[in-house]
Amino acid sequence: MLSVGSVGVIVARYAQAHSDRLSAPPALGGGPVAQAATTVAVTSLGLVILLWIVRRATRPREMTPAEHRTYYRQLVARGIPKPERLSWTGEAVPTRQRANPRQWWIARTYRHRPRTTTIVAGALIAVMVSVVSLGVGATPSYADDGSVVDVVDGDTVDIQIGDTVERVRLLNVDAPENNKASRVSECLGPEATAEMERLLPAGSRVTVIYDVERRDNYGRLLAGVENADGELVNAELAQAGLGGPLVVGANSRFHDRVRDASIAAENDKRGAFGTDIACTPGSIISTYESESTSAVADSLPEDSAALATIAATALAVSEAGDSAVADLGEFDWLGPDRMTPYIERVREAQQTAATHGDVAEERHAEAKADEERAAERAAEEAAAQEKAAREEAARQAERDSAPRSGDSDSNSRNSGGGGGSTYTGCRNYNGTGMIDDKGRSFQPIPCS
Please tell me whether residues 325 and 439 are part of one structural domain: no
Respond yes or no: is residue 191 known to be catalytic. Answer: no
Residue where a domain stops, chosen among 236, 253, 273: 273
Computed over every residue of the chain, the mean pLDDT equals 79
Please tell me whether residues 77 and 111 are part of one structural domain: yes
What pLDDT score was predicted for residue 415?
45
Q: How many domains does the chain have?
A: 4
Structural domain includes residue 434: yes
pLDDT tens digits, one per residue of 20-74: 454 555 444 444 445 556 666 777 777 778 777 877 777 778 778 887 778 777 7
Structural domain includes residue 68: yes
Instruction: Please pick, among 166, 169, 338, 363, the residue that the annotation labels catalytic.
Output: 169
Task: Report the percent of the chain where pLDDT is more than 70.
Answer: 76
Please tell me whether residues 266 and 315 are part of one structural domain: no
Please tell me whether residues 170 and 217 are part of one structural domain: yes
72 Cβ partners below 8 Å, 6+ apart?
Answer: none
Structural domain includes residue 387: no
Please tell me whether residues 35 and 129 are part of one structural domain: yes
pLDDT tens digits, one per residue of 32-46: 445 556 666 777 777
Please tell me whether residues 37 and 104 are part of one structural domain: yes
444 Cβ partners below 8 Å, 6+ apart?
Answer: 405, 408, 411, 423, 425, 426, 427, 428, 433, 434
Structural domain includes residue 345: yes
Structural domain includes residue 44: yes
Residue where a domain stops, chosen among 138, 161, 184: 138
Instruction: Please pick, among 62, 67, 177, 371, the residue that the annotation labels catalytic.
Output: 177
Please tell me whether residues 154 and 269 are part of one structural domain: yes
Please tell me whether residues 150 and 221 are part of one structural domain: yes
pLDDT tens digits, one per residue of 153-184: 999 999 999 999 999 999 999 999 888 766 77
Residue range(s) defining the domain that contains residue 196: 143-273
pLDDT tens digits, one per residue of 74-102: 776 777 787 777 777 777 777 666 656 55
Please tell me whether residues 130 and 157 are part of one structural domain: no
Structural domain includes residue 266: yes
E strand or H helix that includes residue 73: helix 65-78
Task: Between 287 and 444, name the one with better pLDDT.
Answer: 287
pTM summary value: 0.55
Structural domain includes residue 73: yes
What pLDDT score was predicted for residue 31?
45
First CA to last CA distance, the chain: 134
CB atoms within 10 A of CB 272: 29
Instruction: Please pick, among 166, 186, 195, 220, the residue that the annotation labels catalytic.
Output: 220
Structural domain includes residue 398: no
Respond yes or no: is residue 220 known to be catalytic. Answer: yes
pLDDT at 105 over 90: no
Task: Report the percent of the chain where pLDDT is more than 90.
Answer: 28
